[in-house]
Amino acid sequence: MKAAVLKKLGTTPVLKDVDEPQIENSQQQIIDVKAAPVKPLDRLMTMKSFYAAYSDLPAIVGTDGAGILKDGTRVYAQGITGMFAEKAIIEKDAYTVLPENLDFATAAALPNAVQGSVLPLRLRGNIQKGSTILINGATGFTGQLAVQAARHFGAKSIIATGRDERRLQGLKQLGADKIISLTQSKEKISKALKEILDESAVDIVTDYF
């Protein structure tokens, strides 16, 4: 099978032909990987300075992903072996079954984005119905999810900022009440924010820049 293999810390993994992984006990199973996200953690683990860098090299990289089990079940899971591969080993009872209408790429990308959007709003921000939320840098994947999460939790007003004009306009359909383009001059950005703050105080700010 093909896999992304890290030969040396501080270098880029390379695509290689390697042997398929072999399960070692009854608590493990094989997953046919269909999509695996490249997260900041995955990059950090290839660096010499990172405390949890790969120690046993060469190593197949990738910590999680989405795929299909032997019985055809579509799942998301953390890998025991590297997930940037055609096949990987996961724990037998440690996975999330995917809805049929959720594609593999989205399923693989969602968990990290949820940690960066839903958890801060819910656990750290203690979002309440009627809250006013400012999401700075909302045009990225995590920012877009934060807009939808804020609406789901009952925010009264959601203000979204960003540089990607097309995505910024699209945030209105995802739940943003007001958008501010960060491609404007500092003066115009400040004026737009002041007008919004004059109407209502912001309860929670999330910043993805």
Query: Which of 83, 102, 121 is a domain's end point?
Result: 102
Do 20 and 61 fall within a single domain?
yes
CB atoms near residue 40 (< 10 Å):
9
| pLDDT-above-70 percentage for the chain | 100
Residue 199 has pLDDT above 90, yes or no: no
- Indicate the average pLDDT of the chain: 95
- Give the model confidence (pLDDT) of 123-164 as tens digits: 999 999 999 999 999 999 999 999 999 999 999 999 999 999
Among 46, 78, 102, identify where a domain stops. Answer: 102
Please report, for the domain that includes residue 64, its CATH number. Answer: 3.90.180.10
Same domain, 159 and 191: yes
Shared-domain flag, residues 177 and 155:
yes
Question: How many structural domains are present in the chain?
Answer: 2
Q: Count other C-beta atoms under 10 Å from residue 204's C-beta.
A: 19
Boundary residue ending a domain (102, 134, 154): 102
Domain with 190, as residue range(s), is 108-207
